[in-house]
Amino acid sequence: MSTPPDIVKRVQKLRREIEHHNYLYYVLDQPEISDAGFDALFRELESLESGHPELLTPDSPTQRVGAEPLAAFQQVRHPQPMFSLANARNEEELADWHRRAARLLADRRVDPAAAAFVTEPKIDGLAISLVYENGRLARGATRGNGEVGEDVTMNLRTIHAIPLALRLKDGEQPPPVIEVRGEVYLPLAAFEELNQERAAAGKPTFANPRNAAAGSVRQLDPKVAARRPLNIWCYQIGYAEDFSLDSHWEALMWLKEHGFRVNPHVKRHRDFQGVVEECRAWEERRPQLDYDIDGAVVKIDSLEMQELLGYVGRDPRWAIAYKFAPSTAVTRLLKIGINVGRTGALNPYAIMEPVEAGGVTISQATLHNEDDIHRKDIREGDWVVIQRAGDVIPQVVGPVIQKRTGVEEVFHMPETCPSCGSHTVRPEGEVVVRCPNKSCPSQIVESIKHFVSKGAMDIDGVGEKLVERLFRLGLIKNMGDLYYLKREDLIGLETSRSVNKKGTEVIHRLQETSVANMLKALDDSRRRPFHRVLFALGIRHVGSINAQLLAAHFHDIDSLMAAGEEDIARVEGIGPVIAEAVREYFGEPHNLETIKRLRKAGIRFAQEAEEDRERPLSGRSFVLTGTLAAIGRAEAKEKIEALGGKVSGSVGKGTDYVVVGENPGSKLRKAQELKKAVLTEEEFLKLIGSAG
């Protein structure tokens, strides 16, 4: 019986589309559809080929592992194929996988109840193979098409977490050849910082952390890769000579013992119920990580059982990927809006039809600047791919050009400020368009929000919505006015509206207790140290560290205001760019009036005597790594600095203490190599308690 022509056409069309998207995603790192959209195409093709096996051909996308490698690198044949994993989108599909594996084991006269399992977070990065010969790194390659990858040894050598030689015990002989597999990734904070730097420099931004990691590893110049804070989790031993173990768990422990970075969240389970519970837990735990994951990997632990189960097509029968809700989605971009920041920067953002991605509903997403929008060719009215990775703010990856109808409009930054109507400017050499009017209402509101924020004056109870409300009502016109608010101004003030379950609108107002707490918080903030006040003023380029440097050098606001640009630039760590911004700030009459009003309210504009004296941790340098459970890293940093110490981002010769929380990174290993003092969180709290 012949195959219906419509089925033949659909299969051919699906193959072309999948190959096209494979190429965009794996080769060019420029996806134009979401992961969920790609998976839907792939599943449809698998289903049609399963129902019509006469259509199955060796060149079908379902019969190969991945995309072809880039020709710019030397090609490397893997000593053992790097297969991908089948996906389970829900617990039912996960249970189906377990039943199939148990049935096959029983058919091979193995008790399925004897099977243990290992669960691991599924890192959304770039899969790589590391081959060690006689204990030394000989070659590193990308997965490529599973059989052949790209030789990126020189770039991988720049990643400090990858050992150049195995850590061997005394007298231990390394295997002649052993292949270690892992996932290279970029931490979320580093990804956001990298994109901000690229946007400010007028360069294309990366769509997501995975693309950033892939783009970094594939740099032809290793110096570029070295500047990117790439990291790795190692998850498997592949090919090996004169070397054998009994289980996957033993392999992970061997990797840890021999200097490889193994994820601390891997777990071994005696039964399948533990696997199910762990997969559920990962859905909730996901936002707490500083790297992106898109699921959990489940493997049968016994290597003998793995060999008995073997493979089906491109997938191992002994492992499966439990996939989370997709972190990408496709929706329509209705309009590009503009926010005016506290320094006058006009920041574009996407207003979209609400869509769910990463388990949350998204209606707005960040856009970096006009140049970036034009590079990606994003237009108002486009269907766009959006990406949400962990806690990173949703971003627009790019348009789905095939869906254009011709009514989409090219975006241009406004010639006038949407807040005050002033003509906008784009300073030479910058990619940011600005409003030059220092009395612009949006700039003033944003500066007040910054002033009351946690890292600045930390005024509890005065949130962003309340600041906007107070400004609209004319109760405050600048940050100094906050200290002249009276109880009668605030009692009964409407703060927000909502609709209850009965559909009735509810008006929320400030009550006596809230007002009393707010006024007390304002009063307490009068005693913030000078460097915190200086940071809270919101001077362009002056962050908390620069504010401390300026406060320590000039001691009071009058000396700083009287200093020339060259004098300011000579302060260690400041430089001409910050010096120019400081002089520009104090040259504005509006800012001088605000300082006068703050001074009258009793705000500290000078170093206190105890701040100039030697403090308990003066001259001591700290590095924080891992998650601090009892005290956040921001608060730990603040306490160290309040006691005179400094906090650095990297371990070096000048480091005195490395404070280690849960899941510490490579900084701990560096500290051990340099023989630096390592403190647990409990020891750190005792130290600052006695010092304070």
Residues with a catalytic annotation lie at 122
Q: How far apart (Å, rounded) are the C-alpha atoms in residues 302 and 221?
A: 41
Q: What three-state secondary structure class fits 266?
A: coil
- CB 17, CB 41: distance < 8 Å: yes
Q: How far is CA 428 from CA 425, 496, 624, in A?
A: 9, 42, 39
What stretch of H or E contains 22?
helix 5-22
Q: Are strands 177-185 and 126-133 parallel, antiparallel or unpaired?
A: antiparallel
Provide the strand spans (E) within 535-636.
Answer: 621-625
Q: How many angstroms from the chain centroid is the CA of residue 110? A: 44
CA dihedral 662, 668, 672, 673 (to 10 degrees): 160
Which residues, at least 6 apart from 3, have a Cβ–Cβ distance to it below 8 Å? 52, 54, 55
State both tokens at 370: 């006009």
Q: How far apart (Å, rounded) are the C-alpha atoms in residues 238 and 82?
A: 8
Mark out the alpha helices in 507-575 (DSSP H runs). 512-525, 530-536, 544-554, 557-562, 565-569
Q: Are strands 136-142 and 494-499 parallel, antiparallel or unpaired?
A: unpaired
Q: How far apart (Å, rounded) are the C-alpha atoms in residues 339 and 371?
A: 17
Task: Return the number of other C-beta atoms located less than 10 Å from residue 477's C-beta.
Answer: 16
Q: How far is CA 305 from CA 104, 117, 236, 248, 299, in A?
A: 10, 11, 16, 11, 11
